[in-house]
Amino acid sequence: MPVDRFLLEECLATLARRDWRARVEFDPVRFPRRYESGADREVAALIASSLAYGRADVASRTIGEILARLGPRPARTIRSAKPAEIDDRLQGIRYRFSRSEDVVLFLLAIGEALRLHGSLENMFLDGFDGEGTDLRAPLARFTTFLRSYAASVSRKPGLSHGFQHLIPDGGNGSPLKRLFLFLRWVVRPDDGIDLGLWSGVPPSSLVIPLDTHVFRIGGYLGLTRRRTPGWAAAREITDALRRIDPADPLRFDFPLCHLGMSGACPSRPDPEKCAACSLRRACKACRGRRNRSGETDRLDVWRFRL
């Protein structure tokens, strides 16, 4: 049975009204929030979001180490330091697919963007008219610049898998979770969670950074009928949230994500946790929907890496 729209709106509004700022220290957005300067926050946001995958504790150690090595003013360091200095600062850094040389190329590309455009926002807005709600074209230009510059200064032919994982192709049809996470941080107003750094991109145009928690809970709430995560599921969930809040659909993203991250919404329904959940009246799992085998239906999303 479809979830009643008004019931869903009421449940999501109740969830969003909770004070989620205490969860910031469990989220990579805490890294850019440590800086006072907007320029440093912007650069730290791109670095932190690009590494926001895998085990959160391990990713956080790597993000913190990279930013510590860049000093108290990372934007100034990246903009002005010579390639050899960046290379020296990042020696030994490694996370999952990416080695230190991949991170160095990533930072060199950011430095070139800052020198040419003054800020990452200016580079993103170059050619962006602000019309419509599809950010894939400006994202593709954004990533193409970074990837092209990195390829031009790389000591090796082509770009490694480790670098391409840091900055994926913005036009490849994937959900681009980490790039849209970066955009959410810098575009949405500063609410103690997001940063409110950019003024040229309307929050209404954002697409949800589709992680496993949002995908699973989105399925429970009827925000998507997709069985696998991908661009179509990200757009479907975003469109559903946009019908509830056309101006700021992603104000629900942090609460939904951290409802899953915190364990308050586990992958298998838990009667005690479900009873305390703000979404229980609109949630298929809480309503005890059964599949043909008699087990509670759930979305097997842990197999996917977004």
3-state secondary structure 147-183: HHHHHHHCCCCCCCHHHHHHCCCCCCCCCCHHHHHHH
**pLDDT, position 131:** 64
**pLDDT, position 291:** 43
Task: Write the pLDDT tens digit of every residue in 76-99.
Answer: 999 999 999 999 999 999 999 999
Task: Write the pLDDT tens digit of every residue in 199-238.
Answer: 999 999 999 999 999 999 999 999 999 999 999 999 999 9
**In 221-287, which residue ranges form alpha helices assigned H by DSSP?**
231-244, 253-261, 271-275
Query: Which residue, 260, 262, 288, 292, is CA-closest to 275?
Result: 288
**pLDDT, position 5:** 83
- Which of the residues in the chain have pLDDT under 70? 1-3, 131-133, 171-172, 288-306
**pLDDT, position 65:** 98
**pLDDT, position 169:** 87
Identity of the amino acid at 214 = V
In the block, tokens 């949230």 appear at 241
Give dist(CA 16, CA 254) in Å, integer: 9
Query: Which residue, 58, 77, 80, 57, is CA-closest to 68?
Result: 77
**pLDDT, position 127:** 75
**pLDDT, position 172:** 67
**pLDDT, position 98:** 94
Give dist(CA 306, CA 299) in Å, integer: 15
